Structure 1
Amino acid sequence: MDSLTQVVLGAAVGEAVLGRKVGNRAMVWGGLAGTLPDLDVLSGLVTDPMSALAYHRAFTHSLPFAVLAAPVIGLAVHHLYGGRDVKVSGKLLYPAALLAFWLILLVGSYLMPIQLFAIPAIVSAITLVFTGLSGLIVGIHVWRGTRTKGSNATFLQWTLLFFLAIVTHPLLDCFTSYGTQFLEPFSSVRLAWNTVSVIDPLYTFPFLLLLLLAARQGRRARVRRNLNRAGLLISSAYLFLTVVNAVNVGGVVDNSLQQHGIGSLRSIHSPTLGNNLLWSATIQTTNDTFYLGQYSLLDSTRTLNPLLPIAGNHRLLVPYSEDRELEILTWFTDGYYTVLPGGAGRVVLCDLRYGLLGRDPSDPGSYTFNWTIDTTRRPVRVVVEAGTSRPEPSGALKDLWSRMLGK
């Protein structure tokens, strides 16, 4: 989900683990650990677009990364506040921890089964920014004279905090339609349970409010713990509700296909941006034919409306199926894509998993993700087109809101 939500979740987890012992430090470090996996977006600054696409929500969002990184960061933070569970000089510990963090990222990234470029640069960018954010926290402590004041937690307790704050980030992302590669580097399979949008105010804002109220209480106050627990419980209950909605919409998809006499090879459905009321569905009926549909929980009938047929036109890319950049796109879209003509030896590959933003399925700008591919060179390359069309934001939002209210 969005970075604000992940910071809130990480901070709440940190508070639940160590808030009573170390106070707001638990929230601060938990929030930083919660946003750490999303630093993989820095790959877009130092490598090619397809490598960045494959790297986002990959190794930094995996269980192995959480397991390996947590003790490294936990030991450094434990030592920062005066802990001596491991008797090592700070002059040696901090550079060693920094190197270990960099090596974990480097080796894990090289082991990924997808071919990536500029891995050392990606890893260095993530390490540099994470170090800078950590240094900012330390600097504030030094400026306020609070670095060595207050109680400390053990090395194992700090490790537990960082593990849980990091691992809950990709677990939450698994509920989204974008998904995450939770098992990297052992598998590039994206876990996407498609129950919640990548941005959902009803999940985030109550959680954020309760966390802020908890932070204003004394660290040993019972109301602080209760407020934080309430935030965790309410957000978890909302996630459970989205699962119920997903199961319900799955029944609607099956019912619609039966009503229209459409047989499907497979289908997916997920909520549209910013809400859990309006859902989009993508159905594959043959190797090269799809249907796009919508259903609002406020609709008066349990059927997809509209239900539009879409030609996949996959034959246009058959000659280039083994080219690296096309392989990454077909993997990323999980085969749910249509190919539109782009002119001058170019085609546009459009991701069908998220439905239509506009009203014209022949317009590449009507899709959440689309990539222009130059087929005049080999291997084919994704090119950046200036002035790519997009539906008018106000019009798209108006259509979304109108459809959300039901038919």
Structure 2
Amino acid sequence: MDSISQAALGAAVAGLIAGKKCSPKILLAGAALGTLPDLDVLLDYGDPISNMIKHRGFSHSLFVLIPFSTLLAIVWQRFVAKTWSLGQLWLLITAALVTHPILDSFTTYGTQLFWPLNVPPVAISSIFIIDPLYTLPMLIPVLAAFIWRSRASKLCGVGLALSTLYLGWSLIAMGMIKDRVEENVAGTHLEGQPVFIAPTPLNTVLWRVVVLDDDKYWEGLASLKDEDPTIDWMPMVRGDWPFPVKSALLTDFEYFTDGFVRFQQEGVGLTVTDLRLGMAMYQPFKFIVAEQGEDQVWQVVEPKQVDPGPLLPRQIPALWMRLLGWQSIDAMLCNEHDCFRD
């Protein structure tokens, strides 16, 4: 999630656990702890694909954060918070740190909760990385806690409860869309194929669906406001890797994306795209991984991230109209170079 959400979450958790000891300093410390795991974004792993798949790695692992919390609690109790019991201080620090990756695991990007174990990132994909309906009900009570200090802990608890309820709603909404997708593909050649479902930006009403189908994939939008349950699928070419063997980096990329990737020739370059993130009209995680020489032979190159460019102005209001159930405008949400290519 975004830094504001994580800071608000850390502050709310710290304030709730602190109880009568809650103060502006505690809230600020919780906010700082809540954003601490994202400092790994400052690390450079050598290339943009590695930077992507290794983000939310060791710094988000429960196997790292819990021992780190223990060490930090011992040091903090000895030199700063001497009036606190070690147990309460450990619980505050651990909760403020660990809730960060747990919240991240509800997004599409995924979180390596169990690093260094060789297991896929946890990516529930029920909430967009920025969602005001999650953040504001928690942020407003936390800010109020700075003013009404006698009720600070209760305010933090209220904010945390409201945001958690919304997170629970996101799972219910996702389940409703999943049932609808299964009904749409039942009895077709898409039945049983890998499916990816995620909310569109800033809401949990309009959802994006991607279904893999050998050399192509099908993308559609489904809103909880739709009167017609039929999903208007858009076929798109997945492309192929032109070499007999994939590099370890590409293998890791496909593992990270659970196979939801697309290869596409753009000029003399071959790009690979994470199909889970963004939409057909805007896919931010696209990388050039090979280039074609004058002899028409492909050569693997150092990965370079492609600038996705700005969203088209007409697509933003179209997205909101689609959220409200206007199914006739699905085509407006596609880039003419990407959609309906078969």
Give the TM-score range, shorter chain.
0.7 to 0.9
Rounded to whole Å, the distance in 1 between the matches of 2:266 and 2:217 is 20
Secondary structure of the residue aligned to 1:269 is strand
Q: Tell me: CA distance 1:284–1:311, structure 2 relative to 1, closer, same or farther (3 Å).
A: same
CA deviation after TM superposition for structure 1 residue 375, in Å: 4.4
CA deviation after TM superposition for structure 1 residue 320, in Å: 4.1
Q: Which moved more, 1:244-253 or 1:262-271?
A: 262-271
Letter in 2 for 1:215: F
Rounded to whole Å, the distance in 1 between the matches of 2:213 and 2:305 is 31
Structure 1 residues 336-355: aligned runs within 5 Å: 336-344=260-268, 346-354=269-277
Letter in 2 for 1:179: G
Instruction: Quote the residue 2:111 is aligned against.
Output: 180
Aligned residues: 321
Query: CA contact under 8 A between 1:291 and 1:309: conserved in structure 2?
Result: yes
Rounded to whole Å, the distance in 2 between the matches of 1:277 and 1:296 is 6
Rounded to whole Å, the distance in 2 between the matches of 1:211 and 1:191 is 28
Q: Tell me: CA distance 1:292–1:325, structure 2 relative to 1, closer, same or farther (3 Å).
A: same
Identify the match of residue 125 of structure 2 among 194, 197, 212. 194
Instruction: Quote the residue 2:47 is aligned against.
Output: 48
1:369 paired to 2:285: yes
Instruction: Quote the residue 1:311 is aligned against.
Output: 237
Rounded to whole Å, the distance in 1 between the matches of 2:206 and 2:95 is 32
Letter in 2 for 1:276: T
Instruction: Quote the residue 2:259 is aligned against.
Output: 335
Instruction: Quote the residue 1:392 is aligned against.
Output: 311
Structure 1 residues 142-291: aligned runs within 5 Å: 152-218=83-149, 221=150, 223-258=151-186, 262-286=190-214, 288-291=215-218
Deviations 1:359-387 (A, max 9, x none): xxxxxxx32321111246865421245xx
Identity of aligned residues (%): 30
1:78 paired to 2:77: yes
Q: Tell me: CA distance 1:53–1:392, structure 2 relative to 1, closer, same or farther (3 Å).
A: closer
Secondary structure of the residue aligned to 1:350 is strand
Deviations 1:241-267 (A, max 9, x none): 111001000011111112756334211
Letter in 2 for 1:258: A
CA deviation after TM superposition for structure 1 residue 74, in Å: 1.5
Query: CA contact under 8 A between 2:47 and 2:303: conserved in structure 1?
Result: no
Rounded to whole Å, the distance in 1 between the matches of 2:216 and 2:19 is 53
Rounded to whole Å, the distance in 1 between the matches of 2:117 and 2:188 is 41
Q: RMSD of the TM alignment (CA)?
A: 2.1
More helix by share: 1
Note the residue ranges of structure 1 that are not aligned, 5 or more in a row. 84-151, 359-365
Letter in 1 for 2:316: L
Rounded to whole Å, the distance in 1 between the matches of 2:62 and 2:18 is 22
Rounded to whole Å, the distance in 1 between the matches of 2:284 and 2:219 is 13
Query: CA contact under 8 A between 2:284 and 2:308: conserved in structure 1?
Result: no
Instruction: Quote the residue 1:292 is aligned against.
Output: 219
Rounded to whole Å, the distance in 2 between the matches of 1:214 and 1:277 is 31
CA deviation after TM superposition for structure 1 residue 290, in Å: 1.4
Secondary structure of the residue aligned to 2:287 is strand
1:382 paired to 2:310: no
Instruction: Quote the residue 1:137 is aligned against.
Output: none
Note the residue ranges of structure 2 that are not aligned, 5 or more in a row. 293-297, 327-342
Query: CA contact under 8 A between 1:282 and 1:355: conserved in structure 2?
Result: no
CA deviation after TM superposition for structure 1 residue 63, in Å: 0.7
CA deviation after TM superposition for structure 1 residue 195, in Å: 0.8
Secondary structure of the residue aligned to 2:213 is strand
TM-score by length of structure 1 reads: 0.74
CA deviation after TM superposition for structure 1 residue 302, in Å: 1.6
Query: CA contact under 8 A between 2:109 and 2:277: conserved in structure 1?
Result: no
Q: Tell me: CA distance 1:355–1:55, structure 2 relative to 1, closer, same or farther (3 Å).
A: closer
CA deviation after TM superposition for structure 1 residue 317, in Å: 4.1
Query: CA contact under 8 A between 2:34 and 2:100: conserved in structure 1?
Result: yes
Rounded to whole Å, the distance in 2 between the matches of 1:22 and 1:277 is 36
Deviations 1:275-325 (A, max 9, x none): 111100111133x33111110111111222x311122112x344341x133
Instruction: Quote the residue 1:139 is aligned against.
Output: none
Rounded to whole Å, the distance in 2 between the matches of 1:59 and 1:392 is 33
Q: Tell me: CA distance 1:399–1:177, structure 2 relative to 1, closer, same or farther (3 Å).
A: same
Instruction: Quote the residue 2:13 is aligned against.
Output: 13
